[in-house]
Amino acid sequence: MDFSLNGTQISMKDSITKFAHNELNNDLINNDEKSLFPSSNWKKCAQMGLLGLPISEDYGGVNEDLLTTAIAIEALGYGCRDSGLVHAIVTQILCALQIALFGNDFQKQNYLPKICKGEMICAQAITEPDAGSDALAMRTKAEKLNGQYVINGSKMFISNAPIADTVLVFALTNPERKKFGGISCFIVEKGLEGFICGKPLDKMGLRTLQNGELVFDECVIPLDNLVGVEGQGSIIFNETLQLERTLLFASHLGTMQRIIEVCIKYAKERHQFGQPIGKFQSVSNKIADMKVSIELGRLILYKSAWLKDQEKRAHLETSITKLFISESLKQACLDAIQIHGGYGYMKEFEIERDLRDSIASTLYSGTSEIHRNIIAALVGL
């Protein structure tokens, strides 16, 4: 086993860290308070090539493997304090990967270059008001009528929805089969009659990330907008989740690295009872636990990415990755506030925002409770 990064990966990690630190942290407190999406920073990321990291150069991408992409996203999460922007970028990458992996030649040529350039913002619509953890219990339907598909239903909590130009929508095409061969994936563009997007949702955290409800009322789309083949939706969905639990949580690993460095610096500088607070075990043990979580999280994350690069299934590994990193991030943020005391509770120090953002990580991409059930099932229980 070789745990070292190659020259390209080291160079990319350094350049993205510097770029994110210098370019993406402006006016963040104001944007968070007002739930504003930083469009100018989105364009900067597109120009940097971040939106097309794992996409072929033939379609305007950078053509990196998944491990290198995960390392790049980890650097982005470390350098960029705007977790909402990072989440939006990963959502964009995941939508591009779905089209790259399952789309036809026309779809790849028509959509991928625009996605990689950031000219077209994408969203993925799976979750529904009554289908969250049990996502495959969706009710949104797509019926084939007169040589077209007609979509009816609604989706909820969809990342990028209010600002999206194109949405990858999962819907039932054969309700009798549901999970196995009954769900299909469609490309639906903004502006179509019967496609309604609600206002951005007012959230506890990730406030720069735009989430919203999508409603489809007799929304007509061409047959050519089907991604893959009819009934392949569950396969696309499961593959996407493995990629999501790798890339999205790579960004959280970067956030944890930033948090521990902030805590170490503060623990050295802050004096109480005649010595730095880092000398007290109640403080130093919290930082030690953060370091353990970062190192172990990185190992399982990189293993998950490596498995996908080998074109192997990584259902168990990505589930462990998601569960471990999300819970570790939440605990690290709680401990960071405790280490900083009253200062940590103030908006000025920005640690409270990290905590608010971290709570969602234990909910999206499958709750922690669901992942414990998945892991238990995969080990034979």
> Residue 354 class from Cβ within 10 Å (0-12 exposed, 13-18 middle, 19+ buried)?
buried
Greatest extent of the chain over all pairs of C-alpha atoms, in Å: 80
Which one from 244, 261, 317, 350 is the annotated catalytic residue? 244
Could you tell me which of 252, 240, 239 has the C-alpha nearest to residue 323?
252
Q: How far is C-alpha 259 from the geometric centre of its chain's CA atoms?
A: 19
244 is catalytic: yes
Cβ burial 256-267 (10 Å sphere, 16+ → b, else e): bbbbbebbbebb
User: What is the torsion angle, in degrees rounded to the nearest 10, for the CA atoms of residue 257, residue 88, residue 241 and residue 360?
Assistant: 60
Residues annotated catalytic, as ranges: 244
